[in-house]
Structures are given as structure tokens and as C-alpha cells.
Structure 1
């Protein structure tokens, strides 16, 4: 029986994916070129804020650790790490990208031909919630997950689609390129987040309360080896298996497959509750500050609406 650090037997390339790291560095470089050097060529461009740059670099490094670093290889071995990967990527990284990428860039991209129509359609609140949660639930149907874990192209494509759908889902709340008047009201944002949590609950509940381990990828030696080819070069994997006799994920953890599965569901649900609680607190405090700052204007507007309603009522008496 090994432990989590035993993944070092798969070698440096499998654990750290250098090519993916180079890709992340290219994205970071492009970000600073666009936001720091070429921003004047984009309508509404402004100098990059230090906070935006720091958050973006951190998020890119997090994405690297999740999809190219040790967390990625662990997510193919242990279901709990798969759910941790999902939670951080879609519930934390995607929303924070709205604060890391300057609003004028998002606006410019979203107003491009075709992109504009797609964004307008898929960021409609109800559709956006249903789309992401539907795709997330379908992903965790045993047949679907086991199939995706056996094919690198299908797995990467589905992950990208999930990422885009998560962007659409968080767009109505966190986008910064539209005026405050066009945004959802604070109470609607609170209800929106609440319903996201409600729709995530069934898939988490099924995973947590299932009486059996549902995924062949994490229980069957043959399926597990097929999944490992997504992150470990075949030659390296064959060499490790022949040299160590490893036949499944049990070598790396003391959890049974069912315990691992249940732990993964709990991780997703607990992280969702914590993250959503933080988002709700931020929204509520912004709402409170706005009410305090504009108290006289809000009172004046309310009185004006009341007078208009009264005048309309008197007109039809």
C-alpha cells in the first residue's frame, strides 16, 4: 500500500506536464501584452490594475495545478480529488476571472459577430443555470464519466464545454462591463445563487448516499488503467505497472472506493456551501452599502413612484 506521494513513480512529465505549463505561461504573457501594451487599441481600454494582474496570474497557476499538475493525476486516481478539481475550477476560478480580466476586454469579445448572439442567449439566467447544472449532472452519470475518462479528446472537449457553461452561469452576477442599472437586483442575485445550489444538490446527493461505488474508472483495474493514459504517457504507465504490480487506485489510498466516492460528494457540497456563503455575503454587503450611500435618492425615487401611482389612481376614480 502506497500513499498520495507515490504518484511520483509516474515521473516528472506526468506529474507536472511541462507543455501545459508553457501554454499557461503563453496565456499570461498574452494577457500582459493585451492589457499592458495594446489596451489603447481596444475601445474603452484603460491601464491594467495591479489587483487584476495578481488575481489573473494566481488563477492561471491554479488552473495549471488543477489540469496539469499533481491534482490532475490524482483526480484520475482518486474520486475525491476529481470533485475537488471540479469545485475549485467551476465555483471559484471561473467567477474570479470576471475580476481578473478587465471589463473592456470582455465587452469587446462579447460584442464580436456571432459571439454576441451566443452570449445573449446562453447568459439568460434560467437557461444559464440549467445548462451548467445539466452538463455537470450528466458528466457524473457513471456511463458518461467512465466513457469520458477513456478518451482524452472527449474528456478535454467536455471539460472545455463545462468551463464555458460555468462562465455563462456566473455572467449575470459577476460581469462588470454593464451598468449597475442593467444588472440583476441584489435580491435576484441572492435567489440566483440559491437556485444554483439547489440544482447541484441532486448529483451530490446521489454520489454521497449511493450504497455502492458507481464508477468503473475508480474500481475496475482495466478501466482505471485506461483513464490513467489521459495523464501518463503509455510507455511510462506500462513500465510502472510491470515494475510495481499496481492494478488500481487502492495502491494510493486507504479509502475503499465507496468511501472515496462519498468523500468526493461531501467535498463538492461543503465547498459549494462555503463559496456560495462568501458570494452571498459580498452581494449582501454591497447591497447594504449601496442603500446607505444612496438612501436619500432611493427615498426620493420611492416617493416619486408613489405619487405617480396615486395620480394614476385619481385619474380613474
Structure 2
């Protein structure tokens, strides 16, 4: 277990390059020169936070320990990469930055298909559940290329899953607050079977962790596995609950504003008539 095993320099380089490119493309001076309104600091911080979370999940000791020794750490890593990080990245991307990518008709068609709520919710949760089937996970863990490919696919479907709620291109995320709340609630339900399989298993499910020699004090194998399922479920509940509250209050404020506008219209008309 060397330093570069624990702190992946390739992932760090990727994060730094992406951060620098984003900084250059969204700099205030560039925005002024192109006649655009500069990005809010909050939006830029959201993107950088997402990059930091990506490195924590993919390039830090969390990734190495979760992959080689502790299933519970692996589940925390999964929660960061698929449930939390995409939200910050999507909130940090302005529509004008991503729109040129989808000028092509084929690219637009693919984006429209994969971000349809039913497709997006089923694709991510199905792939996530299949990944945690013992036969599949054991096979993937034996091949670095297969594991990387599957994780990349999971990451893409995670972004697609969050796109109907936080997508920067509003024509692909133009859903009412009620639809978004139902969507988030459905996500929570669909993720439950994978967590339940892990939490209530009475035997160790995964060969890799059964054969791991943990170089430090840790939980017994079965308890570590059950803790992983519990942590995943708790983090999922916190993330989805927070997003649900955000969507609800935004929807509630919008409804109140619309009601106030409608109630003001008759009085304005009445004033005009009297005049």
C-alpha cells in the first residue's frame, strides 16, 4: 500500500485539468468580453466542490480501501460518486457552457432519450442493483478494465438520473415541482432492494472481501457488509430527503407567487374600470 496507491495522481491530474479548463471558460473577464453575465460565486463553488468530491471518491484512500479491504468504505465511496457529486457538478454548469455539445441532432436525441425520467430512473437503479449482485461484482472486481467500464457507465447514468432535477438545459428538466418530488421519491424506493439484499444477508456475499487481509483493526466481515448497506441507505435518505425539501419549498414559493399574481389582477382591473 504505497502513497500513489492511496492518492491516485492520474485522477488528481484529471481533476486539476478539468478545474483549470472550467476556470478559464467561466472567468468573469471572459464573460464580460463575450457580453454574458458572470457566473455567481455560489455556482462556481458548487462545481469545484463536485470536483473535490470526485477525487475523494475516486482518487483518495477511500477508493483504495473500499476496493481492496472494507465493503462499508466501498459503499460510502459509491454514495459520494453517484448520489452526491453529480448534484454539485450539474449545479455548477451554466447552460451556455454545455449547450454547444448538444448542437448536433444525434447528441440532442441521445440526451433527450437518456434524461427522460422513466429511462433515467430505471437505468441508474437497475445498473446499480445489478452491480451489487455477488456474481456480477465478483466478476468485475477481477478485471480492472471491466470494473472501470462499469463504473463509468454507472457514473453517466447517475448524471442522467439527476438531470431531470438539476439539469442546466431547462428544456430537458422542465418538470413541475410535483413531478420532481414524485421522481425523487421513486428513486428512493428503487434503490431500497439493493440495500436490503446487503443489510439482511446472513452470509458474506462477496468473494473479494472474504479473501482480503485487512492490515488494520476492522469490523468482522459480515458486520462490515451490513454496515455498508446501512450507510448506503442512510446517505441515500439524507441526500434524497434534502433534495426533496429543496424542490418542495421552491415549488411552494412558485405556487404562492402565482396565486398572489392572480389575486392582484382583479383589483388592478377594478382600479382601471373605476378610473
TM-score normalised by the chain length of structure 1: 0.77
Cα RMSD, aligned residues only: 2.2
**1:96 is aligned to 2:88:** yes
Asked if the contact 1:45/1:104 (under 8 Å) is kept, the reply is: no
**1:114 correspondence with 2:114:** no
Partners of 1:17 and 1:68 within 8 A in 2:
yes
Deviation of the 1:45 alpha carbon: 5.3
Take 1:13 and 1:29, find their aligned partners in 2: how far apart are those partners?
23
Poorly superposed stretches of 4+, deviation over 6 Å? none
* Aligned 8 A contact 1:128 1:165 in 2: yes
Query: Do residues 34 (structure 1) and 42 (structure 2) align?
Result: no
Distance (Å, rounded) in 2 between the aligned partners of 1:210 and 1:81: 18
Contact 2:49 2:88 in 1 (8 A): no
When Rg is computed on C-alpha atoms for both structures, the one with the higher figure is 1
Instruction: Give how far 1:125 is off.
Output: 0.8
Which of 154, 160, 176 is residue 146 of structure 2 equivalent to?
154
* 2:53 pairs with 1:62: yes
Corresponding residue of 1:166: 158
Of 255, 268, 274 in structure 1, the residue corresponding to residue 232 of structure 2 is 268
1:39 positional shift: 5.6
| Post-superposition CA distance 1:115-159 (Å, at most 9, x none) | 211111111111111100000011101111111112111111111
Q: Distance in 2 between matches of 1:137 and 1:253?
A: 29
Distance 1:298 1:162 in 2: 45
Q: 1:86 aligns with which of 78, 97, 100?
A: 78
Greater RCO (Cα-Cα under 8 Å, separation 6 or more): 1
Q: Is the 8 A contact 2:71 2:209 kept in 1?
A: yes
Q: Does 1:22 align with 2:13?
A: yes
Separation (CA, whole Å) in 2 of partners of 1:176 and 1:252: 44
Tell me by how many angstroms 1:203 deviates.
Answer: 0.7
- Provide structure 1 residue ranges, at least 5 long, that are not aligned to the other structure: 1-9, 225-247, 302-317
Q: Distance in 1 between matches of 2:33 and 2:122?
A: 37
**1:135 aligns to 2:127 (yes or no):** yes
Q: Count residues in correspondence.
A: 263
For structure 1, which segment, 27-36 or 105-114, has the greater mean C-alpha deviation from structure 2 after superposition? 105-114
Q: Distance in 2 between matches of 1:156 and 1:102?
A: 28
